[in-house]
Amino acid sequence: MTLKAIMLGAATGIITLTAAVAEADTSDKRIALSNNYAGNSWRQAMLESWQKNGDAAVAEGVVAAADAFTTSENQATEQAAQIQNMILQGYDAIVINAASPTAINGAVKAACDAGITVVSFDGIVQEPCAWRIAVDFQQMGREQVKYLAERYPDGGNLLEIRGLAGVFVDDEISAGIHDEVKNSNFEIVGSVHGDWAQDVAQKAVAGILPSLPEIVGVVTQGGDGYGAAQAIGATDRSMPTIVMGNRQDELQWWADEQASNGYETTSLSIAPGVSTLAFWVAQQILDGNDVPKDLTVPFLKVTQDDLVEALKTTPKGSVANVEYTQDQAKDVIATAK
C-alpha cells in the first residue's frame, strides 16, 4: 500500500487526531502504555503520537488517563514488573509494545485475571487473553526483495541489516527476507544488527564492508538506511540500492541523491501512529464494543512518486506517520468482523 493510499485522503498526508465523544461512558477509565524500548526515532514518534492522542482524549473527557511508561532496558523481566505495577495501580486497560511475544505472558495473564483489558501492538504477545494489532512483518521483508528483483532481474549480492536482536519484529522481517531470497537470484553475503538506529547501523555496516564482495542492494528494517548510506558513501564502492524505512533523514538523503544522480529506491515501515489505533481499540473494548482478538493493519510504503509529499509531511528527525481517530479505529474493527 502506498503512502497516498494509506493516508485515507487526508489533505496534509498525515491523519491528525480529532477525538470524538464515546458512545458509552468511559470517562472514568484509565489506560496505560507499556513500552519496552525508546532508543530510535520510530519509537519516539510512536510515543509522541500516543501522547498527542491521549492528551486530546483526556481533554475531551473520553478517558480519565492515557499514561505512557517505557522500560529503561529492552528486557522482558523489567517489562513484566512494569505491567505488575500497572495492575497494582488499577488501570482499566494496558496497551503493550512487548519485548517478547512469550516472555511477558505471565504478567499479561495476571492483568487479564484482574479484569484489565490488554491490547498489544507492533511487538505483540501470544497470551490468548490479549488483543493483538499486527503488521505482516514477514511480508515487509518479502516486499523489499521483490522490489530489488524488479530492479535487478539477474540478481546479485545483498547486505542485510537486522533490527534489535531477540525481538519478534526483527525475527519476522528477517524471515520474510530470507524466504523471498530463496525464490530469487540474490544471495545474502553479509548480515549485521543495526538496532533500528542510524548510528549503530553505520558502525556495523562500516565494520563488515571490507569483507564483502560487490553488493547491489541493502535490505533493512527501518532506522538504518541513512546510516548504511553514510558508511558506504565513505568508501570507493558504488552506492547500492538501499531500501529505506520512512525516517526523515533517509527520505531527505534519497531526495538529494535523486536530484543529484537519479537515485531510485523504495521505503516501507509500520507507521508509528499504530499506537493511536491500539489506544482506541482499548477504549472501544472498555466501551463494550465486540472487538476481534486479532486486527491487521497495512505497513506504510513511500514510493518514488510519493517521496516529495512524504518529505513535506514528515518532521525533521521523525518518521512518516499515520495516526488514527476513534472513527477510523471503529472502521478497522468493523472490517475485521
Query: Over its length of 337 residues, how does the chain's per-residue pLDDT go in tens digits?
Result: 444 344 333 333 333 333 333 345 899 999 999 999 898 899 999 999 999 999 999 999 999 999 999 998 889 999 999 999 999 999 999 999 999 999 999 999 999 999 999 999 999 999 999 999 998 999 999 999 999 999 999 999 999 999 988 888 899 999 999 999 999 999 999 999 999 999 999 999 999 999 999 999 999 998 899 999 999 999 999 999 999 999 999 999 999 999 999 999 999 999 999 999 999 999 999 999 999 999 999 899 999 999 999 999 999 999 999 999 999 999 999 999 8
Q: Where are the alpha helices (DSSP H) in the chain?
A: 3-6, 41-59, 76-89, 105-113, 137-151, 168-181, 198-208, 225-233, 248-261, 274-286, 307-312, 326-336
Instruction: Give the pLDDT of residue 73.
Output: 83
- Name the residue among 317, 332, 232 with its Cα closest to residue 274: 332
| Domain at 9-135+271-298+321-336, CATH homologous superfamily | Response regulator (3.40.50.2300)
> For the whole model, what pTM was predicted?
0.84
Instruction: Give the pLDDT of residue 167.
Output: 84
- Name the residue among 200, 256, 198 with its Cα closest to residue 227: 198
Task: Yes or no: say if 198 and 226 are a contact pair by the CB < 8 Å rule.
Answer: yes
Query: Can you read off the three cell numbers belonging to residue 4?
Result: 497516498
Ranges of each domain in the chain: 9-135+271-298+321-336, 137-269
Instruction: Give the pLDDT of residue 24.
Output: 59
Query: Would you say the CATH fold of 137-269 matches that of 9-135+271-298+321-336?
Result: yes
Q: Please name the helix (run of DSSP H) or strand (run of DSSP E) that holds residue 179, with its range, or none.
A: helix 168-181
| Third-level CATH fold of 137-269 | Rossmann fold (3.40.50)
Instruction: Give the pLDDT of residue 59.
Output: 98
- Name the residue among 250, 333, 246 with its Cα closest to residue 294: 333
Cβ neighbours for 210, distance < 8 A, ≥ 6 positions apart: none
